Copies of this chain bind each other. A is one copy, B any other.
Amino acid sequence: MEPTVDILKDLHYRMLRIRLFEEAAGRLFEGNKMPGFLHLYVGQEAVAAGVCVAMRDDDQVSSTHRGHGHLVAKGGDLNKMMAELMGKADGYCNGKGGSMHICDLDLNMLGANGIVGGGTPIAVGAGFANKYKGNDTVSVAFFGDGSTNIGAFHEAINMAAALRLPVLFVCENNEYGEYTRRDKVMAINDVVDRAAGYGIPGVIVDGMDAVAVYEAAVEGLARARRGEGPTFIEAKTYRYYNHHGVQTLGMKYRTDEEVDAWKAKDCIEGFERRVTEAGLISADELAAVRVELEAEVEAAVEFGENSPLPEVSTLLTDVYTEVSR
């Protein structure tokens, strides 16, 4: 489905919102204001944006350790996100979860996950619930190329296929799992080669092109809504920063040339060039969006910095739901 101009604007808005949020988070991390691990999404924005623009608000998302992008794309509140990443009381998880467990169940974002493959079965459970309830909501599982080698992924996707559940599987193939190249750990050219083994259709898209991702997601979501079961989308993409943290160049496991070649295909720059050249969105409008988002991100940083650390009294709350009978 050809995207309308409104859709294009939305794609751009969400990509840029992710990018600016992540760059700010990276700066805070470098400035030692962000504790723990930080897995930045920069480079892959077209995937989260493309899929989430195609989704309905009631559709759910399960995510990974690299989950900020999915929450931003789902409409996450940047204030709460930034505060959470800083371990503050006003964060999404009141500081208890951090980057790897960020979530917003009201937005149907069922959480990042610290365990590779851990979130995929949860998306399948949400898909099961949708089918059980007889609604036409779809759940989307985002996962990395590396995670397709772990057992939980395999069990989950097979179960979704066998039970014909309304789930969309979105593999963000950035060619690395941490510091290991994909060709070292799987003997296939494309991750999508696995789809046939589950009896579901698979499609490869250019993960640096939000429109391509969007179109594939529209298809996959529609198929799921029609009750025809899961689809597997492999989006070829790249993360610019290191697996964890911010360093970009000068690393042993990949060459600077490779990084630069991918950056030349940048999903936001390319998108902006194409839409302005085609006269679909004006350069001014794009610039205005950027100004607006920069302000939002700046405010989020301030919000996070000003938010207090959680009260010690909350340490032992939220372990169980209290029974009220």
Contacts and interface: CB of A to CB of B under 8 A. Distances in A.
A162 interface: yes
A197 B199 contact: no
- How many copies of this protein are present in the complex? 2
A196 B198 contact: no
A252 interface: no
29 contacts: A149-B154, A149-B155, A149-B158, A149-B159, A149-B162, A150-B151, A150-B155, A154-B154, A154-B155, A158-B185, A158-B187, A161-B186, A162-B186, A162-B187, A164-B187, A186-B198, A186-B199, A187-B198, A187-B200, A187-B229, A188-B196, A188-B198, A188-B199, A189-B199, A193-B196, A193-B197, A193-B199, A195-B197, A196-B197
Given A158-B187, A188-B199, 8 more contacts: A154-B154, A158-B186, A162-B185, A162-B186, A164-B187, A187-B198, A194-B197, A196-B197
A197 B191 CA distance: 8
Contacts of A187: 158, 161-162, 164, 198-200, 229
A325 interface: no
Contact of A155 (B151, B184, B193): B151
A151 to B, nearest CB: 2
Contacts of A159: 149
B184 A162 contact: yes
A213 B189 CA distance: 30
A205 B75 CA distance: 52
B152 A151 contact: yes
Interface in A167-205: 184-189, 193-200
A173 to B, nearest CB: 14
